[in-house]
Structure 1
Amino acid sequence: MPGPPSALSPQLADEVREIFQVPPIAAEFEPLTHNPKNGVTAGVWRVSVGDRSAVLKVLTRGKDTTETWASSDDPRHWNFWRREAYVYEEGVARVWEPWGITAPELLASVERPDGDVALWLEDVRGEPATGWSTAAHAGHARRLGAAHGRALAERAEPLDHPWLSRRFLRDYTAAQTTGRDLLDDDTAWQQPLVRDHFPEGLREDMVRLRHEREWFLSVMESLPRVFSHLDQWPANLTSPHPGQSVLFDWAFAGDGALGEDIGNYIPDTIFDGFLPAARLPELATAAYEGYVRGLRDSGWQGDVRLVRLGMCASAVKYDWLTALMLSLAGDAQQLDYGGRRTVEAEHRYRERGVVLGFLADWAREARVLATELGFPH
């Protein structure tokens, strides 16, 4: 993760002066956690001047990274480098505001001479979702359901700006290739961290999910369409006031399936340790019921099995994570999201094994629901 600039460039000094109306020498830069591998993010900082602060996020297309996380110039690509700037500039980040989900205020969007874009955003203080109760997660799910439900009830066409992502789930999962060849490798499944902490039968379930990937994606692409954030998880949320969510990191936003956002939110809450895996059934029930309640509150009267199918079939997003875990099982040092701290490997594999087993159950349920609803298999 990039540290604070060692010396303010003239460009950055001008930006600080414009935002804070003070000499730039007074600014302090604190690096914030983000995915350091993502090729569209040059860095994220909290910039403080006295008792005032803002968040600086620099978008780039020239960062050296892996092929998996490379930035794209294609406006429909899941990792289009400039999407988040457009989302803020065009006000799309605030379209869910009537239902209690908003975004930081855009203070400035600066096109830099080197081609990067500097987003200066409101530094929203509140209760981070990383520490929310199950009830708070369910409240956010209800607000999200209300936003999705109103659009569907009014038969409104989903937002379709030319820079919003399309086919996110298909293209994102196709890009995640690390360890894929290990899914059918006996030795990989006998590594101690895997053998001791992944549930019995998981190998067969995850190999089947990989082999049926195209079917799951086709089902997801056939479900009702809603404008989606596509990266909803607790690290991207805070609540400054009861009944309000502030959602960050709109880099993937675009077309999604009904239930897809909540299908991402639930497992990611556990995968990165914000709730223990033992509470996954409780969270899944509360968040799903909250989402459905929001849909009904806003007037959507469709078949609830479609919602459940969208959530459960979202399990296909995570077949790559099984492969990644197989590839990392021999590493003595396991790093957290952002790569700043080490995590205890046995705890990680035990917790994630529980979630992967839960997703295998989702996949089984999705197959049954799809058959009931007449999707070909």
Structure 2
Amino acid sequence: MSEAPTTHSPQLGDEVRDLFRVPPERAVFEPLTHNPKNGVTAGVWRVTVAERSAVLKVLTRGKQTTEIWAASEDPRHWNFWRREAYVYEEGVARAWEPWGITAPKLLASVERPDGDVALWLEDVRGEPATGWSTAAHAGHARRLGAAHGRALAEQTEPLDHPWLSRRFLRDYTAAQTTGRDLLDDDTAWQQPLVHDHFPEGLREEMVRLHHEREWILRIMESLPRVFSHLDQWPANLTAPHSGQSVLFDWAFAGDGALGEDIGNYIPDTILDGFLPAARLPELATAVYEGYVRGLRDSGWQGDERLVRLGVCASSVKYDWLTALMLSRAGDAQQLDYGGSRTVEAEHRYRERGVVLAFLADWAREARGLATELGFPH
């Protein structure tokens, strides 16, 4: 997590004064969990002055990081550094508000002299999705399905501002190369954490998924298109009121396939430990059924097999995760998302092994549906 910025900075001091109408030294900065590797994020903080608070997120393009997470100047790139500012400034983050999915209010967007952009956002309080029941996850999926379904039923063109991402799934997965050479390495698969905790047969299935990556990506790119968040998971959601979802972190938003958002949501809920892997089938069924119900509620009458294909073929997004797990199986210290705490390695590999096996089942189902629907191999 990022260290608290100094209020001795004239620029930050001015921002605090403008927003809170108090001297900047009265502000308390609390770092919030985020991906510290991402080159577009200089930091995220909850800023509190007495009884008032706001969230400060600073977007940058000058942060030193790995090549994978480097900020891009290309407005269509999945990691375009300024996208989230545009999403808030242009009101795109509230596109799904009629269906109960909204975003924090933008309080201020400040172009700083050093080229960074400071987003001052409403500090939304509610029930974080990291603690939601299965029914609550399904409710969010139903709201999302209703938003997608209405756009498809009315044959509305997906939102297409020049700074929204395109080819997210293809380009994001292509960038994640760590450990890829280990997929066919016998020694890597014999490491104790892998050998003892990955299910039998997983190697063959995940190697096949990797080799079929291009075909599956072409399938995803040919499915009905919908405006998508592309980073939906419980850490980016809260519920201030029953029947309402508030989504954070719109940095990847853009063009996606029907079903792609929940194809990310379901596995990520387990991969980062918000629910145990034993609950994955229950969660997957509830979220999928909620999404389809929302699609139908809003008037979409399309072939449900296309929805199912979009969800199952989303398994290709996790092609890189198997390789990453192989590369880190010898690490003495395993860190959580955000890198602030250690996690128990055997538990992580056991739980993620279950998820990877589940994704292998999705890939098998996607192959069958693609053949049934006439997608050429």
Alignment check: 8 A CA contact 2:7 2:13 kept: no
**What do you get for the CA RMSD once the two structures are aligned?**
0.5
SS at match of 1:113: coil
Letter in 1 for 2:105: E
Question: How far has the Cα of 1:269 moved from its partner?
Answer: 0.1
In 2, Cα distance between equivalents of 1:8 and 1:138:
46
Aligned residue number for residue 54 of structure 1: 54
In 1, Cα distance between equivalents of 2:50 and 2:345:
40
Alignment check: 8 A CA contact 2:77 2:166 kept: yes
Aligned residue number for residue 302 of structure 1: 302
The CA deviation string for residues 76-115 of structure 1, in whole angstroms up to 9 with x for no partner, is: 0000000000000000000000000000000000000000
Give matches, 1:138-217, under 5 Å. 138-217=138-217
Aligned residue number for residue 131 of structure 1: 131
The CA deviation string for residues 122-180 of structure 1, in whole angstroms up to 9 with x for no partner, is: 00000000000000000000000000000000000000000000000000000000000
Letter in 2 for 1:287: V
In 2, Cα distance between equivalents of 1:201 and 1:319:
16
In 1, Cα distance between equivalents of 2:341 and 2:89:
34
Matched residues, percent identical?
89
Structure 1 window deviating more from structure 2 (5-14 vs 60-69): it is 5-14
Give matches, 1:1-377, under 5 Å. 1-377=1-377
Letter in 2 for 1:357: A
In 1, Cα distance between equivalents of 2:7 and 2:261:
40
SS at match of 1:207: helix
Question: How far has the Cα of 1:23 moved from its partner?
Answer: 1.0
Question: How far has the Cα of 1:7 moved from its partner?
Answer: 4.3
Alignment check: 8 A CA contact 2:225 2:258 kept: yes
Structure 2: 5+ residue stretches without partners:
none
Instruction: Please report the TM-score for the alignment, with normalisation by the length of structure 2.
Output: 1.00
In 2, Cα distance between equivalents of 1:61 and 1:107:
22
In 2, Cα distance between equivalents of 1:20 and 1:296:
45
SS at match of 2:338: coil
In 1, Cα distance between equivalents of 2:8 and 2:336:
30
SS at match of 2:67: coil
Letter in 2 for 1:308: R
The CA deviation string for residues 179-212 of structure 1, in whole angstroms up to 9 with x for no partner, is: 0000000000000000000000110011001100
SS at match of 1:88: helix
Instruction: Please report the TM-score for the alignment, with normalisation by the length of structure 1.
Output: 1.00
The CA deviation string for residues 228-249 of structure 1, in whole angstroms up to 9 with x for no partner, is: 0000000000000000000000
Q: Detail structure 1 runs of 4+ shifted over 3 Å in the superposition.
A: none
Question: How far has the Cα of 1:8 moved from its partner?
Answer: 2.8
SS at match of 1:152: helix
Structure 1: 5+ residue stretches without partners:
none
In 1, Cα distance between equivalents of 2:287 and 2:179:
31
Letter in 2 for 1:149: G
SS at match of 1:317: helix
In 2, Cα distance between equivalents of 1:50 and 1:202:
53
Letter in 2 for 1:233: W
